[in-house]
Amino acid sequence: MALPRRATLIAGGVAMLLLGTWTAAAAQDQPQGFASLDGGTRGGDPANVCTVAEESEKALHDAVKCTRSRPGGGVVIFARPSMTITLGKPLQLPSNITMQGPATIQSAARETLRIEGQSQIIVRDLVFRSLTRKDCPDPTLPTTVAARFESDDAISGCNTPIEVLGTRVAKATGTVAADGRDSTHVWIDHNSFSRCGDKCIVIKNGNTTNASGRWFGADLVTVSNNRFTDSFYSVLITVINKEALRGMLKHSTSECEAVKAKGVLPQMRISVYGNLFENIRRRSVRAAYCNVYVHQWNNVIAGFGMPFSQFPSGTTCSGNAFGFGPSSIYGSRLLLEANYIAAWPGPSCKNALNSGAGGRDESESKPDTEGYIQARDNLLVNDAKLTGRTSSVPPPPYSYTKLPADQAYASVSKNAGARGERR
């Protein structure tokens, strides 16, 4: 990539000092997968560099505001790689922006970064930390502490580092938004997520529709080369949220297909590759509802679920007790290729892939809740196994590079996560 022609400086001279670092990190600036379609994902104009000059929420907001003021947006970089920014409320990212670390961003708000009805966004080389709120479990507790995961409700509404969704308003659900939009062309690459307060990444619909009644969602998203560690959930991709569509879709594959036939559901296509999921109890990835298509390849999923030793004698694999790896429910399509998937060693639940998760009892198949999973060339370790229904899933509409699963393990273990992060 050529050096930028000019730079917008918030701290005099700093952007030019860091330019070499940023340019080197951005050398592989083309995502694979859905974010590469329809013109690709370019983020902000690399000619406009906006620097976070100090460790403050205001400085980060100023840098983001700087990109808004430039034609074609811009690139946000940080004055020092060791910087830690603490946010008190979610940071809304505009269209045409590249957030380029290394840096650490931490928050106790419901979301850290929110991408809502925006396009052309790249988030790279950032470390995300969830801070503790009084009404949320302590995210610093390790995943081997059973009390940390007693229920979904215990963590609902706690910190999610990145949320990608369609337009949402504070009015009644179903409002027609004349200026509403889908979030499209989003690339989340080479970041590190640890001990997320709730989910690490959520990709979902908003609560508004266009004039024809179609809900706004998120499409053409790639999640690649990230490191997810020690968390209850990691990545949730769904058309549902608490504000919208629950009464319409309920929890049924057939009802989802009927609603989809009316043309009101947003198309949501997401690629997930090269990521490390380590000690993630559930949802690495979870695809939910029939308008969702996920292609997940060359990921390492190590230590999903929890060992029997953390639970009282007689606990079974049903209910919320243990968890599992990738899952597909309510008619979503999930294509899993050449992933390395390892359960906890020793006695544990071994459901690596689940295509029948329904309601709160997500380790068992239920009638009319199943999704569609096609799994091929995966390496299953520690007796991990596929449960539920398997079926044919259409191939993705793009070319991509795929390693054998055993080679992917070595590559992903070495390369996933924020570059420049101290581990």
Residues 149-162 as b/e (b if ≥16 CB within 10 A, e otherwise) read beeeebbeebbbbb
User: Is there a contact between 358 and 251 (Cβ–Cβ < 8 Å)?
Assistant: yes
Please tell me the distance from the alpha carbon of residue 223 to that of residue 323, in angstroms, as a whole number.
22
Q: Which residues contact 231 (CB under 8 A, 6 or more apart)?
A: 139, 143, 193, 194, 195, 196, 200, 279, 280, 281
Band of pLDDT at residue 380, cut at 50, 70 and 90: confident
Domain borders along the chain are: 82-415
Q: Which of 298, 297, 257 is nearest to 408 (CA)?
A: 298
Average pLDDT over residues 276-281: 82
Mean pLDDT of 112-128: 96
Band of pLDDT at residue 313, cut at 50, 70 and 90: low
pLDDT at 47 over 50: yes
Please choose, from the candidates 307, 297, 300, the residue with its C-alpha nearest in 3D space to the C-alpha of residue 278: 300
pLDDT tens by residue, 91-110: 999 999 999 999 999 998 88
Render the burial of 131-145: b for 16+ CB within 10 Å, e for the rest. Answer: bbbeebbebeeebee
Q: What pLDDT score does 130 carry?
A: 86
CA 373 – CA 397 distance, rounded (Å): 17
Largest CA distance in the chain: 66
Q: What is the pLDDT of residue 214?
A: 87
DSSP 312: -
Q: What is the mean pLDDT of the chain?
A: 79
CA 317 vs CA 230, 312, 313: distances in Å:
20, 12, 12
For residue 251, give Cα distances in angstroms to 136, 356, 410.
Answer: 26, 11, 39
pLDDT at 149: 43
d(CA 309, CA 321): 12
- The encoded tokens of residue 288 equal 């939910």
Task: Flag whether pLDDT at 118 surpasses 90.
Answer: yes
- The string of pLDDT tens digits covering residues 188-244 is 999 999 877 668 899 998 888 888 888 899 999 999 999 998 776 678 888 765 445
The CA distance from 202 to 234, in Å, is 8
> E-strand spans in 225-304?
227-231, 235-238, 268-273, 276-280, 286-288, 292-297, 300-304
- pLDDT of 20 reads 39
- Lowest-confidence region among 139-153, 267-281, 298-312, 367-381: 139-153
- Please tell me whether the overall predicted TM-score, pTM, comes out greater than 0.75 for this model: yes
How many helices, marked H, and strands, marked E, lie in the chain? 5, 28
DSSP run (H or E) holding 253: helix 253-260
Quick check: 3 pLDDT over 70? no
Higher pLDDT, 402 or 82: 402
Cα 379 from Cα 376, distance rounded (Å): 9
Peptide bond before residue 102 is cis, with ω within 30 degrees of 0:
yes
Q: Are 106 and 129 in contact, with CB atoms under 8 Å apart?
A: yes
Residue with the bigger pLDDT between 20 and 117: it is 117
Which SS3 state, helix, strand or coil, does residue 262 take? coil
Kindly tell me if the per-residue pLDDT of 8 is higher than 70.
no
**Cα–Cα distance for residue pair 156/138, rounded to 1 Å:** 13
H-run or E-run covering 184: strand 183-189
Cα angle for residues 34, 200, 137 (degrees, 5° grid): 165
Per-residue pLDDT, 207:
80
Residue of higher predicted confidence among 37 and 373: 37
Per-residue pLDDT of 167-195, as tens digits, reads: 877 665 667 777 789 999 999 999 999 87
> What's the pLDDT at 297?
97
| Separation CA 294–CA 135 (nearest Å) | 33
Which one has a higher pLDDT value, 11 or 239?
Answer: 239
Query: Which residues touch 415 (CB under 8 Å, ≥6 apart)?
Result: 225, 274
Q: Say how many CA atoms lie within 13 Å of 97 toward its Cβ.
A: 24
Residue 312 binned pLDDT confidence (cut-offs 50, 70, 90): low
pLDDT of residue 10: 38
Contact 236, 204 (CB under 8 A): yes
The more confident residue out of 40 and 11 is 40
**Which CATH superfamily hosts domain 82-415?**
Single-stranded right-handed beta-helix, Pectin lyase-like (2.160.20.10)
